[in-house]
Amino acid sequence: MTDKKEMQVAEDLVVTIEYELKVNGEVLDSSDEEGSLPYLHGHGNIISGLENALLGMKIGESKKLVVEPQDGYGEREEDALMDVPREEFPEEVPVEVGVELEVTDQDGDIMLVTISKIEDEMVTLDTNHPLAGFKLHFDIKVIGIREATPEEIEHEHAHEDGHNHE
């Protein structure tokens, strides 16, 4: 087996990172709050710009990077707005600009939307990802790399299975 200290981030390996994400100078997410992030490399479990930047890194290596919108959550799309009659909102749903809601689309898939505008009769929902159109500033550190199990590769994501990530 390969010496773990010499392993490099590559496809089909479970990689654990510590991270901080800033947008416009504000910390939006970090492993300090959420815990370290294990993911299966090469399977689209994280945004492509971050995954590409991690390729080849070793345990203990750190990097600061800027992920452009097209390699993050995409550009904002103006046609991703939908107007919904205000009367369709249940009473318990706060109808306020900025409120994020989970809605079910025509295919039965759950989608995250944000209320972006409210008028007398209509409420505009924005189906863009909240971070679409933003440059993402990451500070990342690889803290673990291990072989993925056949089940993890089949399921295309890392499992919390008690493996030591060191």
DSSP string, 124-141: EEE-S-TTTT--EEEEEE
Say yes or no to pLDDT of 34 above 80: yes
Say yes or no to pLDDT of 164 above 50: no
What pLDDT is stored for residue 150 in this prediction? 94
How many CB atoms are closer than 10 A to CB 31? 18
What pLDDT is stored for residue 5 in this prediction? 62
Q: With CA atoms as reference, report the closest residue to 148 among 15, 17, 50.
A: 15
Class assignment of domain 4-73+132-155?
A: alpha beta
As a CATH number, domain 78-126 is 2.40.10.330
Say yes or no to pLDDT of 110 above 90: no
Q: With CA atoms as reference, report the closest residue to 57 among 15, 118, 99, 90.
A: 15
Q: For the chain, what are the domain ranges? A: 4-73+132-155, 78-126
Say yes or no to pLDDT of 51 above 70: yes
What pLDDT is stored for residue 163 in this prediction? 44
Dist. CA 99–CA 2, nearest whole Å: 48
Beta strands in 41-89 (DSSP E): 62-67, 81-85
Length of the chain: 166
Token digits for 4? 């773990």
Three-class SS state of 80:
helix
